[in-house]
Each structure stands twice: as C-alpha cells, then as structure tokens.
Chains A and B, each alone.
Chain A
Amino acid sequence: MSESLSMMATTGLLGYGFGEDSFRHGLAMDLDFIAADAGSMDPGPHYLGAGIPFVSRKAIKRDLGLMLEGALEKGIPMLIGSAGGGGSAPQVALVREIIEEIAAERGYHFKMAVIHADQGKDYLHAKLKAGKIEPLGPIDDVTPETIEETHRVVAMMGVEPFQKALRDGAQVVLAGRATDASIYSAIPLMRGYDPGLVWHLSKIIECAGAVAVPKTGQDCMIGTLKADHFLVAPAHPDSRCTRMSVAAHTLYENPSPYHLEEPGGTLVTLGSTYEQLDHRTVKVAGSRFEKANRYTVKLEGVRRTGFRTIFVAGARDPGLIAIIDDFIDSCRARVRRAVAVLDIRADQYKLNIHIYGKSGTMGSREPIKNATPHEIGILAEVLADDEETSMTVMAKTRLALLHSDFPGRQCISGNLAIPFSPSDIPVGETYEFSLWHIMEIDDPLEPFPIEMVEL
C-alpha cells in the first residue's frame, strides 16, 4: 500500500456536466484514477425499458471527451459505471459508440473493458429455483411469471468486475449497471486500503459536487485515502467542503445514514468522525465495513405496461372548480359508455385524471382536501395495450372533460383552456418495475461478462 491514493469524481452523473475549470484544477493534482457514475433509477422505469439515456448524447460526449483527454494525458485509469443511465446493453452500447467516436476523431489509443450487466431469463429462473432471489423492500416475491414478463433486467455489479478488467490491462473501464460506490472502491481495495474508509469515501464522492459549497453542482471532487482516514475536497480552489456537507451526505437517497448496503457487506458509519481540516477539506475516520456472509447483487427489471397518451388543460370557472371531483367522476362514466360503443371494454384501458391545484402532487396522500384555488390544471393519462386504443380513449376523455354539462354551468362553449394543438399527446410505450430484488451469487464475476476492446 502506498502512503496515499487520490481519485477525482468528475460528476455525479455523466452528462450532467462539470466545470472545465474545476476539472483542470483536479487534473493538475496527483491522481490515481478518475471516474464518473452514469446511472440512476430516479427517472423511473422508462429509460431502462426503452434502453435509452435520460441525458443527451451530446452532453455525454462532452463529459467523456474531457475525461478521456485527462486520463490518457496522465496515463491513469478512467472508470465509468452504469453507462447510459440504466447500465443495460443498449445503453452501454451507446456510450461505447461515443467513446469509439471520440477515439477515432482524436486519434486516441487505449485498451478498454466493456462490462455487461444484463441478465438472461434462464439464469434468473435457475437462481429463483435455487431460492436465491428475494425482495429488496416492499415488493412481491418473484415468480417464474415475473421473470417471463420482464422485458429487460440488469444486476448491479460490485468492485470485482472492475478489478478484473483493470488486472487484464484495461485503462478505460466502461461498465453496465454498477453500485455507485463500487466504481470508486475498486482500485483502492485492490491496493489494500481499509474497506470501511474506502466504501465511505466512495459513497461521499460518487455524487461529486453535491458535497461542495457553494452548491453549483458543477464541481469535480477529490478524495484522498490514507491508512487511517480519508480527505474530501472540491477540485476547484474557490469551492469548499464543510464538515456538515460531508456528514450529511450519507443521508441522501438512503433509508439509513448509518448502514449502507453493498454487494459484499455493509458500510457502517456509526463510529465515523468528521473534522474540518482546513477551510475546504474534511477529514473522515472511524468508518467500518462489515463483511456479509453472502454476496448479493441487486436486480432491476422492468415489464411493458402499454402505451400512454396524455392531455393537459386548465380550468378557471369557479362553478366547475367547486364541484370538480364529482365532475371528474361523471366524465369517467361518460368515457366508459362512449368507448363501449367502440368495443373497448373498461378493463382494456386505465384512465387517471390528476387535478393540479388540489392533489396533483401528492394524490391520495394530500392532506388538504377542500382547497378551492382560482384555477386548476388537469392532466389526464390513458394507458392501453396499443397506441390506437390509448388515443381513442383519450379522444373521448377530452370530449367528456371539455363539453360535459354540470349543475349551474355557464361556460357552455367549453370547460377547459387547452394549451396545445394537437391536444392529445402520445408518449409511447411505458414500463414499470417488475424486479427490485436481491440475488445471491457465488462468484461476483459470474453475471458480468467482460469484453476487452483495443482502440
């Protein structure tokens, strides 16, 4: 183990961008590697389902261009995890194509490992049969049917596939779905640093600028490991980390700030200490990693649910707003009758009507039941097995909302202000999470095949 190891996290999400100034300041330091997480399930099941990123290709290319330039110039590894947002085959393929494009345009040459995270149905059936798949939170148990109806599924890799790729000589590692912290933990763990410190540092810097003050979101972050502590500071000299910004970070998006689960165990921060070393650097010590007696990876899978059409409108008639809930109920009944005439049964579509200004944000959890705003926003959504049915039901829904009568109605030429023409917007195929489970595996490399590419 060398005396210290330094890493730079460029961005919390590849394609969200980072300041070039911040990046160049970071690059001027002694660094052992640079990395970025590219993934998140926050935007919901659609992107994994459709196999597309939720940032633009252009933004990904910009971030990768700078990172490749920096890594090659310094001769250090560059690691990307959860490529393309969901880390599935088409998403990884897109990022790979961008990297190859940059290399071709600039004449870069390097060895790249591409690590896949998609899981086949036969493999999942075998794991299910062996009792190795269980829910991660409040979701149904997996059945063989769940696996069959799942359209796309990835597993989240730990550090081991990254380490194998690096041992095999890759300078650039482009990984499919991976835990955020594994991207940053792989190299330090190979070099023998304390796992508690390594995982904790990785957890903090994987969101890059999120722990920097002021919070521009565009700061690169530098993490430095020593034998018995680690340091975190932003790359840009004008930015700072505070004891509080670093300590608070383990709260973010986790159910517990004290216990953070990873494939091979749990990071425990109960004994962690946070110290403001200088005005921009925080020193952390005392974190522990408790090795689990089994190795589990998280599965993320989605199933197709049909085609969605949406419709947005405003209403400003006080008479209508006063009775809006009853009005919506009567419209739903009218839609049911109107589409029945077209041979569409009530069980062949789902219709939701959100009322913004009353309960659009929280739905049934909205505690204020009797709000009477001066205007409301109406968002209708229809889900059906095919786009034609979806559009047909929406056309009848629009008609019902626009022209249905209600007691005391004065606005008899139309109940709604419709902002767009066309008014009914097909948003394509939709998905929902079918798998949000953990799977026990014997070999951390097994579900993650590695492909070596010479560029």
Chain B
Amino acid sequence: MATLGELTSVLRSKNAGALLCTLDLMFEDLATYRRVRDSGVIAPTLIASLYHVSENEVSIIPYDVAMAIKITVPRLIPSGSFGDTDVYGAQQHGPLLTIEIPD
C-alpha cells in the first residue's frame, strides 16, 4: 500500500471557473500512473464521499499523454460568495493525500 501523497509528483486543486473545483494527480513514471489509474480506487463513489457531492456530479478523466488523472467536482459555494473559504480553490486537495492505493 502507498498513499496518493506518496505516489503523485503533483497533487493540486484549482477552480475551473467559479462553480467547479478541479483536482489534478500527476505522476513521475508510467508504471505509477497506471497503478493508480487501474487500481479502481479513484472512483466516483470515493470522490463523492470525500467532497460531499453526489456521484453523478463527479468527473474523472485519465489523461495518458501527461500521465495525469483529472477529477472535477462542484464547489460547495461559488468562488467568493459569502461563506467561501478558498476563493482560488487552491487548497482543496488535502483529502486525497491519504487515500491508499494497493500494490
């Protein structure tokens, strides 16, 4: 087992517009990328529970050419509305860091 924090070289979040938050997982090598991509762990059920949204609101796109996995979820509140905690959406990746991926 290893965590996504250990397996990724980049794990970032950012607004994709004012209503969506997009999370990118990037890897140093093809083997690690494939291991995570094919593990079945990064699935809508998991992401929906981590980010408190429904499964059909989660988008997960593997991007082979850059050895990356892109996850997009709605923001809880539009960027900058009262109650927002992260206008740029740049610190919403934390819950993914400790997700474990089997060997």
Contact = CB atoms under 8 A, between A and B. Distances in A.
A257 B70 contact: yes
B61 A361 contact: no
Among A247, A253, A272, A352, the one with the most B-chain Cβ atoms within 10 Å of its Cβ is A253
B70 A305 contact: no
Nearest to A46: B80
B20 interface: yes
A252 interface: yes
A127 to B, nearest CB: 20
Interface string B50-71: 1110000101010101111010
Contacts of B20: 137-138, 255
Interface stretch (A317-325, A332-340, A362-370): A362-370
Interface residues of A, number: 41
A350 B82 contact: yes
B61 A258 contact: yes
Interface in A250-302: 251-258, 272, 274
Interface in A420-455: 430-433, 436
B5 interface: no
Nearest to A247: B66
A257 B52 contact: no
B72 to A, nearest CB: 4
B78 A436 contact: yes
Contacts of A45: 18, 79-81
B26 interface: yes
Contacts of A432: 78, 80-82
Nearest to A254: B16
Contacts of B19: 136-139, 436
Contacts, number: 124
Nearest to B95: A367
Contacts of A251: 22, 24, 26, 63, 66, 68, 70
Contact of A361 (B14, B52, B57, B91): B91
Interface string B29-67: 000000000000000000000111000010101010111
Contacts of A139: 19, 78
Interface in B63-103: 63, 65-68, 70, 72, 74, 76, 78-88, 91-92, 94-95
Contacts of A365: 50-52, 76, 92, 95
Contacts of B81: 45, 305, 432-433
Nearest to B80: A44
Interface string B6-27: 0000000011111110101010
Nearest to A270: B65
A257 B16 CA distance: 12
B19 to A, nearest CB: 4
A251 to B, nearest CB: 5
Given A137-B74, A139-B78, A362 B16 contact: no
A258 B70 CA distance: 11
Contacts of B24: 251-252
Interface in A175-230: none
A183 B88 CA distance: 23
Given A45-B79, A360-B85, A436-B19, A256 B14 contact: no
Among B17, B26, B57, B86, the one with the most A-chain Cβ atoms within 10 Å of its Cβ is B17
Contacts of B63: 251, 257-258
A381 B80 CA distance: 13
A41 B66 CA distance: 26
Contact of B82 (A43, A352, A361): A352
A255 B82 contact: no
B76 A363 contact: yes
A244 interface: yes
A364 B85 CA distance: 10
A35 B80 CA distance: 29
Given A138-B19, A251-B24, A363 B85 contact: yes
A42 interface: yes
A365 B13 CA distance: 14
Interface of B: 14-20, 22, 24, 26, 50-52, 57, 59, 61, 63, 65-68, 70, 72, 74, 76, 78-88, 91-92, 94-95
Given A41-B15, A45-B18, A272-B65, 19 more contacts: A41-B17, A41-B18, A137-B19, A137-B74, A138-B19, A247-B66, A251-B22, A251-B66, A251-B70, A252-B14, A253-B22, A254-B22, A255-B16, A255-B70, A361-B94, A365-B76, A430-B82, A433-B81, A436-B78
8 contacts: A44-B79, A253-B15, A258-B61, A350-B82, A361-B91, A362-B86, A365-B76, A432-B78
